[in-house]
């Protein structure tokens, strides 16, 4: 019978407050829950977004973190798909295979636990499994990986090949998978297509890698930080554009340079003005734009409806359309074969006690992924 575990976790006490690394209690996993010993967790821009108070679902105090990998420590009653010792990637996007969403075959969104993960609690009793000196601490995205142990729903753990390095494949828990999937699953980019990628941080670079795999003929990288361009070219961009270098709106620059616009575009910034530009740089009649970036609370997108009337399509993607428990193990196998980049995104390593330094770095613009080694 599993017992409560005392371990280190980084608590976010409120918006824009530094995280505090303290000893918390992680309760045993409840029914259909799994307790994972986290080996490594990276910081994604979405963690910074919620810590910055921009997430309408943000709850405090909480333990942030959703891009991780680890080893199952114990399982709760009724768990059949994983056992102690299994290597896993916690997935903020669950996959139960049975709910209305999963059985539709039309989406990777899963309805089985989303209402509870959005409220920072576990489904079986609507309570968190994390506490600090008796005070309940909310979960985040159903993962809360900025801790040595995390309790997650069984439907939110992907069992992966144990020969894969956990401190690298943690990136397949969010950013890298999202970018690759946005190209392959959401846009379904075909060989020879042209594309523009707005924002070339980790997610944008993973989109570029996905476009390379798809055989795109032209990949325009757009960023307001030209320091990002050497990596964009290394990953496979065919040209780079800084909107600040042009008098015309960036969408016009791209339309003029690509004989009427690109076949596909991707927003990887979360800026609603950029989302508009990304749609409007698409070719009349068929161009498709995929929103990946997460916009701040209260922000809305706009364009002239004529843009859509004349054939452009606006889409969005969550976790790149991947059905987590099924597709993440397959992504790990492809990583092991060297099909796409993963290690190359890791620019920094930290210990959990240094997590605030890692957040500072994320805001600085020089960091792709900082991995916290537990």
CB of 118 to ligand AHE, least distance (A): 7
Q: Is 44 a catalytic residue?
A: yes
- Strand, coil or helix: 110: coil
Specify the residue, 44 or 180, whose C-beta has the smaller distance to ligand AHE. 44
Kindly write down the DSSP assignment for every residue of 253-287, as one continuous string: HHHHHTTS-BSEEEE-S--HHHHHHHHHTBPTTT-
CB of 177 to Zn ion, least distance (A): 9
Selected from 71, 318, 336, 361, the binder of ligand AHE by CB under 6 A is 318
- Terminal C-alpha separation, the chain: 25
Q: Is 62 a catalytic residue?
A: no
Find the part of the chain contacting ligand NAD (CB under 6 A) among 10-18, 30-38, 290-298, 334-342.
Answer: 290-298
Contact 156, 35 (CB under 8 A): no
Q: How far apart are CA 239 and CA 36, in angstroms?
A: 42
Residue 221 touching ligand NAD (CB under 6 A): no
Q: Is 174 a catalytic residue?
A: yes
Contact 315, 188 (CB under 8 A): no
Residue 226 CB neighbour total at 10 angstroms: 13
Which residues, other chains included, contact 230 with Cβ-Cβ below 8 Å and sequence gap of 6+?
A: none
Closest-approach residue to ligand NAD (CB): 201
Q: How far apart are CA 225 and CA 185, in angstroms?
A: 28
Q: How far apart are CA 288 and CA 45, in angstroms?
A: 24
Find the part of the chain contacting ligand AHE (CB under 6 A) among 51-59, 219-227, 274-282, 358-366.
Answer: 51-59
| Contacts with ligand NAD, 2-41, as mask; x by CB under 6 A | ----------------------------------------
Closest CA to 124 of 37, 28, 56: 28
Residue 272 touching ligand AHE (CB under 6 A): no
Which residues, other chains included, contact 205 with Cβ-Cβ below 8 Å and sequence gap of 6+?
A: 179, 231, 232, 235, 341, 345, 368
Specify the residue, 176 or 277, whose C-beta has the smaller distance to ligand AHE. 176
Specify the residue, 71 or 294, whose C-beta has the smaller distance to ligand AHE. 294
Q: Is 67 a catalytic residue?
A: yes
Closest CA to 70 of 122, 35, 31: 35
Closest CA to 181 of 91, 98, 104: 91
Selected from 39, 46, 186, 194, the binder of Zn ion by CB under 5 A is 46
Find the part of the chain contacting ligand AHE (CB under 6 A) among 50-58, 259-267, 301-309, 366-374.
Answer: 50-58
CB of 246 to ligand NAD, least distance (A): 12
Q: How far apart are CA 40 and CA 30, in angstroms?
A: 24
Residue 319 touching ligand NAD (CB under 6 A): yes
Helix H or strand E segment including 88: strand 87-90
Of the residues 96, 240, 268, 281, only one is catalytic, namely 96
Selected from 71, 257, 294, 361, the binder of ligand AHE by CB under 6 A is 294
Q: Which two tokens stand for residue 198?
A: 């707005």
CB of 210 to Zn ion, least distance (A): 16
Residue 317 touching ligand NAD (CB under 6 A): yes
Selected from 224, 238, 252, 356, the binder of ligand NAD by CB under 6 A is 224
Cα 56 → chain centroid:
17
Residue 107 touching ligand NAD (CB under 6 A): no
Binding site for ligand AHE (CB under 6 A): 44, 46, 55-57, 93, 109, 114, 174, 294, 318-319
Binding site for Zn ion (CB under 5 A): 44, 46, 174
Residues that are catalytic: 44-46, 66-67, 96, 99, 102, 110, 114, 174, 369
Binding site for ligand NAD (CB under 6 A): 44-46, 49, 174-175, 178, 198-204, 222-225, 228, 243, 268-271, 274, 292-294, 317-319, 365
């Amino acid at each position: 019978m599993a017992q409560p575990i005392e371990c280190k976790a980084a608590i976010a006490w409120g918006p824009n407050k530094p995280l505090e690394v303290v000893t918390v209690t992680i309760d045993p996993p409840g029914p259909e829950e799994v307790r994972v010993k986290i080996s490594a967790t990276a910081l994604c821009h979405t963690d910074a977004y919620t810590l910055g108070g921009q997430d309408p679902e943000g709850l405090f105090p909480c333990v942030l973190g959703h891009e991780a990998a680890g080893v199952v420590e114990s399982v709760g009653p009724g768990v059949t798909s994983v056992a102690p010792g299994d290597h896993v990637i916690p997935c903020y996007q669950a996959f139960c295979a049975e709910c209305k969403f999963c059985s539709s075959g039309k989406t990777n969104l899963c309805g089985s636990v989303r209402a509870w993960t959005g409220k920072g609690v576990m489904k079986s009793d609507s309570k968190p499994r994390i506490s600090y000196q008796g005070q309940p601490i909310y979960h985040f995205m159903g993962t809360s990986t900025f801790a040595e142990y995390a309790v997650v729903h069984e439907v939110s753990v992907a069992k992966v090949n144990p020969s894969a390095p956990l401190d690298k494949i943690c990136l397949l828990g969010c950013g890298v998978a999202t970018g690759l999937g946005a190209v392959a699953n959401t846009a379904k980019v075909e060989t020879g297509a042209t594309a523009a990628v707005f924002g070339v941080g980790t997610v944008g670079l993973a989109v570029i890698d996905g476009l390379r795999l798809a055989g795109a003929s032209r990949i325009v990288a757009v960023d307001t930080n030209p320091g990002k361009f050497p990596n964009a070219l290394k990953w496979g961009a065919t040209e780079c554009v800084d909107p600040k270098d042009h008098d015309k709106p960036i969408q016009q620059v791209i339309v003029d340079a690509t004989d009427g616009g690109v076949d596909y575009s991707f927003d990887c910034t979360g800026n609603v003005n950029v989302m508009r530009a990304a749609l409007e740089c698409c070719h009349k009649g068929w161009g498709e734009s995929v929103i990946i970036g997460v916009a701040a609370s209260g922000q809305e997108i706009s364009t002239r409806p004529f843009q859509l009337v004349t054939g452009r399509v606006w889409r969005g993607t969550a976790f790149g359309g991947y059905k987590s428990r099924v597709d993440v193990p397959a992504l790990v196998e492809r990583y092991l074969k060297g099909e796409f980049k993963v290690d190359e995104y890791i620019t920094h390593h930290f210990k959990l006690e240094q997590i605030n330094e890692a957040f500072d770095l994320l805001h600085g613009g020089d960091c792709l992924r900082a991995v916290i080694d537990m």
